[in-house]
Amino acid sequence: MLDDQSVAKLEAWVDTHPESADTPFMNVSTGEEFTVRGLLGKLRASVGGEVQLSESLQSELNQVKTWIGGL
């Protein structure tokens, strides 16, 4: 799961890249579609205890964490 620093970094990225954050992309294997803004929203909801993340969504968020950590 993303730590507070990663979440803050992701929020900042979404603010500075609004078009990219809303561009849908797909995991070709699962067919699941995402946007970075959508993933951020899921993450916030999870942190707030509103939803439980599925295993596949946790996997996607782990990839986001690796990516945002490398920027």
Q: 63, 57, 62, 66: which is closest to 38 by C-alpha?
A: 57
Distance, CA of 64 to chain centre = 6
Interacting residues toward other proteins by CB under 8 A? 17, 19-20, 23-31, 33, 36, 63-64, 66-68, 70-71
Q: Which is nearer to other proteins, 15 or 50 (CB)?
A: 15
Q: Which is nearer to other proteins, 21 or 51 (CB)?
A: 21
- Whole-number minimum distance, CB 65 to other proteins, in Å? 10
d(CA 17, CA 11): 10
